[in-house]
Amino acid sequence: MHHPEPEAELLHALREGARPRPFAVYELTSEDGEVVDADVCAWGLDISGECPSVQVPPGAVFVGPGGLKGDADSAERVRAMFEIVGDVRLVWL
């Protein structure tokens, strides 16, 4: 037998509690020590810090240069990965 009320309550709780946060990682271009430009080098969704689930572990998914797709523990870890190749900043959208 289908019980719509408990299901509706569960879906409402999920919608209110688990909110993926969009982010972008920008690579900065500097001249004479001053930032003059920035380009997106990765973007994605972060669900770290949300309710843990057996089916979907917390973390972040991202898309990078040339269609590179990946995942990490968090958006901050994505920033750290791209920091290896340049001066980058994490921006929450």
The predicted pLDDT at position 21 comes to 93
**Sequence-separated (6 or more) residues with CB below 8 Å from residue 11:** none
Res. 11: pLDDT tops 60? yes
Domain ranges across the chain:
19-92
pLDDT per residue as tens digits for the range 35-55:
999 999 999 999 876 655 555
- Give the chain's largest Cα–Cα span: 70
Sheet order of strands, 60-63 included: 69-72, 60-63, 34-46, 21-31, 88-92
